[in-house]
Structure 1
Amino acid sequence: MSKQSRIAATLFAASLVPVPVFASSDKAWDALRADVQAQCLAAVTETVESPKAVVDPFGSERFGLALVSGKAKGADRTVSYICVYDKQTKAAEIGSELTPDMLHGAP
């Protein structure tokens, strides 16, 4: 086999190797944001009444991120949680409760 044939065969073989696909179209980003929002809202249903999520438009390389806020169930106060969504497993995890004072930098 000539050198050119080997190069051509190598390039062809390399083109068959699967590579990860990253969300890059507007439609894919919209779908990711919708999933982050749904999973993060579901993760706080037992602790927050009528929660609202503010989703980071792109998150990090591995994670979707959101800030989820609402009225604490059984209390007359607003609480917030940081939600981390694993893009690979599609699982959401909630951090500890953040009070308004914590969010606004009160001592």
Structure 2
Amino acid sequence: MVLRLSLFVVLAALAGAASASSPDAWSAFRAEVRSACLAAARAQGMTNPEVVTHPFGSQSYGIAVLREGDDKRICVFNKATKAVELT
């Protein structure tokens, strides 16, 4: 009985992780990070920066690099609060 319960818990966790990391979910995540980082960069005076978004970010943050000419900035997107900070 304990073995079956343990197996169920492990399989349920794996199923949840797999659905959370579907290609469509990651694509939507990158689009959200890109949009939020672009808005923050434009608010700080960048007009049309190139944006390179990390495909997955870290466990807690989405990360992007913004570049416009010699101006380069790192954007950190908090996955929980949706807050954005630029360096």
TM norm structure 1: 0.61
* Unaligned segments of structure 1, at least 5 residues: 72-77, 96-107
Three-state SS of the structure 1 residue aligned to 2:77 is strand
Q: Secondary structure at the match of 2:48?
A: strand
Structure 2 distance, partners of 1:53, 1:43, is: 12
Would you say how many aligned residue pairs link Structure 1 and Structure 2? 74
Which structure has the higher relative contact order (CA within 8 Å, separation 6+)?
2
Aligned equivalent of 1:39, options 36, 39, 58 = 36
Out of 51, 70, 75, the position equivalent to 1:83 is 75
- The 1-side partners of 2:36 and 2:21 are apart by 21
Instruction: Give CA deviations for 1:78-102 in whole Å, capped at 9, x if unaligned.
Output: 201000000011111101xxxxxxx
User: Cα deviations across residues 30-62 of structure 1 (Å, max 9, x unaligned)?
Assistant: 010000000000001132121121000001000
Q: Confirm or deny that 1:27 pairs with 2:27.
A: no
Where does structure 2 lack aligned partners over 5 or more consecutive residues?
Answer: none
Aligned to 1:100: none
Higher helix share: 2
Please give the root-mean-square deviation of Cα atoms over the aligned residues, in Å.
Answer: 2.0
- Runs of 4+ residues over 3 Å off in structure 1: none
CA distance in structure 1 between the aligned counterparts of 2:58 and 2:86, rounded to whole angstroms: 16
Matched, 1:68 2:66: yes
> Structure 2: how far apart are the matches of 1:90 and 1:31?
14
Which one has a bigger Cα radius of gyration?
Answer: 1
